[in-house]
Structure 1
Amino acid sequence: MEEMINSGANELGVIKISEEVVSIIASLAATEIKGVAAMSGGLVGGFAEKLGIKNMSKGVKVAVGEKEAAVDLFIIVDYGVKIPDVAWQIQENVKKAIETMTGLGVVEVNIHVQAVDMGRDIKEEEAPRVK
């Protein structure tokens, strides 16, 4: 069963936001930053992609309390970028997006750089044939 975040009540009822929604917001905010090649989904995400299932929250782990959230992002960066600069921009953008859209306070956004995208196709990486 998916975890639901109780983000408040008003005279009309209770508003609940799923952790999946917070993950998707974080993922989209992270991939808006120049230098982020992709989110790193790991083994499970890789299988899902091969099956044609697009998981918008891959590479994101969230822990949500009553009023606060902590986010871990697992990313792949483009070769040649300044990783600390890209990471800081991701942190700022993710924090702003989650706080604006959900009203939750973001206490931390941890960036885990999993790989560097060299920007090459598999064909380019193959060794040239010797005649």
Structure 2
Amino acid sequence: MADHKEYWSTIGDQGSIRISEDVVASIAALSASETDGVSGLYSSLTNDIVNFLSKKNLSKGVRIELGDEDTVKIEIGFLAEFGHNICEVAKQVQQSVKASVESMTGLKVIEVNIHVGGVTFAPAAPSETDTAEE
């Protein structure tokens, strides 16, 4: 994400509203990380794997581009869980992120581009021979 923060602004009869791109990124990241089959977010620029439980670093796998006429483009990088259909997970992330951002901000999401940075595997369960050796 850019070093400088951009804001989406609107002025109504009761005053102005400003929403930071960081807020939009956080909404998108939380929505993506809650999707079944997503194990975490992935930042392809720095190759950092972001633990999706960390609220502080939640939006590192998300890029936001605010456009004209109340539009936004979103890029999300995530790690897929082994055993899930990656295309189906990516489509679900696109739908979930679009719905969340539009309903919470009023912005029109025109693109949700997905980058799958890898596949994660569940930790192996200890076998009976491993527990017998201890």
Shared fold, TM over 0.5 = yes
Alignment match, 1:55: 57
Match of 1:111, SS state, is: strand
The one of 80, 91, 98 equivalent to 1:88 is: 91
CA distance in 1, matches of 2:116, 2:100: 21
CA distance in 1, matches of 2:121, 2:64: 28
Q: CA deviation at 1:13?
A: 1.3
Alignment match, 2:110: 107
Q: Taking every aligned residue pair, what percent have the same amino acid on both sides?
A: 37
CA contact (8 A) 1:45 1:55 kept: no
The one of 101, 104, 111 equivalent to 1:98 is: 101
Gapped runs of 5+ residues in structure 1? Answer: 122-131
| 1:70 corresponds to 2:70 | no
Per-residue CA distance 1:33-65 (angstroms, 9 max, x = gap)? 10000001353755x97xx98312110001012
CA contact (8 A) 1:35 1:86 kept: yes
4+ residue runs over 3 A deviation: 41-46
Q: Matched residue pairs, number?
A: 117
RMSD between superposed Cα atoms in Å? 2.1
Gapped runs of 5+ residues in structure 2? Answer: 125-134
Normalising by the residue count of structure 1, what TM-score does the alignment of the two structures yield?
A: 0.80
Normalising by the residue count of structure 2, what TM-score does the alignment of the two structures yield?
A: 0.79
Match of 2:59, SS state, is: coil
Supply the AA of the counterpart residue of 2:104. M
CA contact (8 A) 1:36 1:76 kept: yes
